[in-house]
Structure 1
Amino acid sequence: MLSSPEVLWQAPFQEVVAAQAGQQLSGPWRLLLLGDGSPTRHLQLLSGLAVDVELIAMEPEPLAGPEAPAEVADLAPPLLRRQVWLRCGQDCLAWAESWWNQEQADRHLGQRHQPIWHSLTANRAELYREVDGLAQVTAPWLEERFDRPGPFWSRHYRFFRGGKELTVIREVFSPQLERWLGPSLGAAERSLTDARPGERSGLQHNDLGIP
């Protein structure tokens, strides 16, 4: 099991749920990160290739650590934690981890190498997705697998069925998606970054108000 990425910056919860977060993002990236569509469906549509799920680990988690999204505390224990890479062809385009009640995981994750969205909608059951978090994160193992320097855009959300929380999912997206979506930052933010020679692409700590 990989350690969760370090969170460098996180948008206020109220801004995320009110769809006011991510003003620095370009339109396509804002839709990807804050929209309520299926990320695996989006990756398939963008790349033209099926999404392959590479299972990293799926293990019991007696107590969620401090790095877990706050919403994990609303899941009934005992918990299970799952981590995967999402690949389209040779490109690794995203990493994801999810927290589940053990009983719900046994019920919905029988096909462990299948995207969660496919598992949960196998019988065309109604689901509600609530996006709760937008963040910039980093980790050496993300940089190695994505073959890009961080930080990386991340989000987390919950699935509900019948008003009950099913799972909390955190996703981190590769900058390779700029091939189809264009730069992640809007024009104004890009001009700020371009004005600083030597800075790598992506949102910098000072842009986020981080000391």
Structure 2
Amino acid sequence: MELEKLLGDVQGLSYAYFAAPKNREVTPLIVSNYPSRWLKAYKNANYHLIDPIIHHGLKSCAPFAWSDALQACGNDKGLELFRRSSQYRICFGATFTLHDAGGMFSSLSLCDSGQQADFERRMADQQGQIQMALIRFHGRLLSLRTVDELFPESQNGPLSARELGVLKLVMMGKVYREIALMCAISERTVKFHMSNISEKLQVCNAKQAVYEAQRQGIL
């Protein structure tokens, strides 16, 4: 697989790539060589919603050890989930994160059932290579599919990817003419998007839409 090729010398470890748009209730994209029974249970039960590793990753820009995430976890369900994963020899590991400009969150988790000290030393020695593997794999996915294609149900969320992009530019102080040029669409289309945004957020104008989107955590 392409991810395994990108990992190069780090091959041999168990890995899990996770990606999802922020502030969207969608089924995440998971690419992993974890035991199939655990992956099936994880996906079917939407365990990502209580996973302490994912929760910690959403707030972190730097790589972290799973022990750090567990120490910060105040959710009994999350801790129980982690205890359950240990039955599949998913016990200790490290996670690398990526928060891209399009509002996507992705992470690459690596774990080993061997000696923890050896694993931590390996992560420290190869953290640059692992972070670049995550960046390149994430970029490769987005070069092949749009966010809406990867997460079709996200189109039923508060805002589509295009609407979110337009609203971000409004938040930056861009006028409709500038937004049209930057997005390669007509000014009329920009106004159409803003009308839909205002309707979805139940506000009257662009300024209120920005405020409401920030209040809801969309921006």
Bigger proportion of residues as helix: 2
**So what's the TM-score if we normalise by structure 1?**
0.28
Which structure has more RCO (C-alpha within 8 Å, separation ≥ 6)? 1
Flag the structure with larger Rg.
Answer: 2
**So what's the TM-score if we normalise by structure 2?**
0.27
